[in-house]
Chain A
Amino acid sequence: MNNIYLTQAFRFLFLLLLQVLVFKRLSLSFESFNYISVFIYPIFILLLPHRISHVALVVVGFLTGLSVDIFYSSPGIHAAASVFTAYMRPTLLKIFEPRGGYAANQSPTKHQVGIGVFIRYAAAFLFLHLIFYFSVQAFSFVYIKEILLRTTFSFLVSLVFIVLYQYLFNPKS
């Protein structure tokens, strides 16, 4: 029991540091082509255990986004996107549910659900997150073209890193 919380807490810290120390700078280095920002922290929400309640999911999503916001000095923007994707997570999980279903105490990792289901699930999740994030960032659909361009490029690059993360660490739960 404790083990699960510990795992999640550790993952949260690890992803947060990875995001703000590595990927935030990586995004900044694409200065001439500012359509790419790499987001890896959403997989923390994505990889929460199945049995977590919907309310807790949304609250955890909010806190996760807020933590990232502190480092990005953009209060509320990541939080808004995270709350949205956390809320959508059960729906997405249902859509991409494998034939055997999910094990209640587990997380939907590559190890648990297979690479095919994981990529589809992670892609849908990430896409929703990014489009919501960039929409809130632009805060006006006047910039719809910018929003879509940023979403597309960031989506492709971020997805590569997220899948890479699964292969590197191959978390079981």
Chain B
Amino acid sequence: MRGLILLIIKYGGFLSFLLLEFISLLLVVNYNNDQRGIWLNSTNYFSSQAFDRFDNFVKFLNLSTVADSLAQENARLRAELRSARFQEDILEGSGSNDKWQQHYTFIAAEVINNSVHEFNNYITINKGSRHGIKPRMGVISNEGPVGVVVSVSDYYSTIMSVLHKENRIAASIKRTNAFGSLRWQGANPRIADLDEIPKHTSVQIGDTVQTNGYSAKFPGGLEIGYVEEVDLKPGSNFYEIEISLRGNLSTLKYVYVVNNLMLQQQLAAEEVKDE
């Protein structure tokens, strides 16, 4: 207490100076329009910067929620695409919109487990039978096909990745419509082979390879990759084509499970063939 009094006696002038100067400036800022304007402008500048940073931080924290909702939105928009519709018209473009029936819907899911370095790679996603996923459904990402659902639990599904030696995907060369099947070589996760392209069609390096929808797992017209190397062995009827895949499966985060609403129709029609 004694020390405090001594302190006040010694620095009283300075302390009262600080206090009264503070009060004066408070008055200046609160009751003078010009100075108030300058004050508000300057403090606004700093506070808005601070708010901006804080906002960005909060945005960062919310990023996963935002991404989830964006994935849902993407799935919905994909279903709106023309390639997701079934055309009932005989001639394209001759009918009204009602003639376009919904062909595919999409279920957004998040990858929770993934591998690319095994011979046979699988992906686990966080959606299952509760969300309408069934085995044999195709799975795509925004960079192309991802794989095929092989097993389903209530809340999770396992996907046989495109990078699986047993997995075949029906694919076409976009330019010529020549179709073959895509098969992974088992080494480089960015390279796959396109088999069964007959030698009477023309194939050029750089040609786009896309899904053709034959398998009823993927909508047609989905880009898979580009022709990297073309080889024709003597005596063979088919090209050996190497394709660089468009998507990088090792950084896969969101996928869309394809629900083909016409699957039963197609299977029923094709049933005869198997008998």
Contact = CB atoms under 8 A, between A and B. Distances in A.
A10 B23 CA distance: 27
A55 B25 contact: no
Contact of A65 (B14, B24, B30, B31): B24
A76 B17 contact: no
A137 B34 CA distance: 9
Contact of A76 (B12, B26, B42): B26
Interface stretch (A37-45, A77-85, A95-103, A108-116): A77-85
Contact of A77 (B13, B14, B32, B39): B32
B27 interface: yes
B21 interface: yes
Contacts of B70: none
Contacts of B32: 74-77
Contact of B28 (A54, A57, A58, A139): A139
Interface in B6-25: 12-14, 16-17, 20-21, 23-25
A106 to B, nearest CB: 20
A13 to B, nearest CB: 22
A76 B20 contact: no
Given A59-B20, A76-B32, A79-B24, A87 B38 contact: no
A62 B39 contact: no
B24 A80 contact: yes
B35 interface: yes
Contacts of B42: 140
A109 B31 CA distance: 36
Contact of B23 (A62, A87, A139): A62
Interface in B99-127: none
A87 B17 contact: yes
A2 interface: no
B21 A139 contact: no
A141 to B, nearest CB: 11
A148 interface: no
A79 B20 contact: yes
Nearest to B35: A139
Contact of B16 (A58, A80, A84): A58
A53 interface: yes
Interface residues of A, number: 25
A54 B24 contact: no
Interface string A65-77: 1000100001111
B13 A80 contact: no
A136 interface: yes
Contacts of B13: 53-55, 57-58, 87, 90
Given A54-B13, A55-B12, A76-B32, A136 B25 contact: yes
Interface in A118-138: 136-137
Contacts of B25: 76, 80, 136
Contacts of B38: 139-140
A75 B23 CA distance: 10
Nearest to A137: B35
Contacts of B39: 139
A76 B16 contact: no
B248 to A, nearest CB: 52
Nearest to B28: A76
A84 B21 contact: yes
Contacts of A62: 20, 23-24
A53 B28 contact: no
B16 A77 contact: no
A84 to B, nearest CB: 6
A140 B21 CA distance: 17
Nearest to A62: B20
B20 A77 contact: no
Contact of B27 (A54, A79, A90): A79
Given A59-B16, A76-B29, 5 more contacts: A55-B16, A74-B32, A76-B23, A79-B20, A140-B42
The 4 residue pairs across chains A and B that have the minimum distance between CB atoms: A76-B27, A54-B13, A80-B24, A76-B28
15 contacts: A54-B12, A75-B31, A76-B24, A76-B27, A76-B29, A76-B31, A77-B35, A79-B23, A79-B24, A83-B17, A84-B17, A87-B17, A136-B24, A136-B28, A140-B38
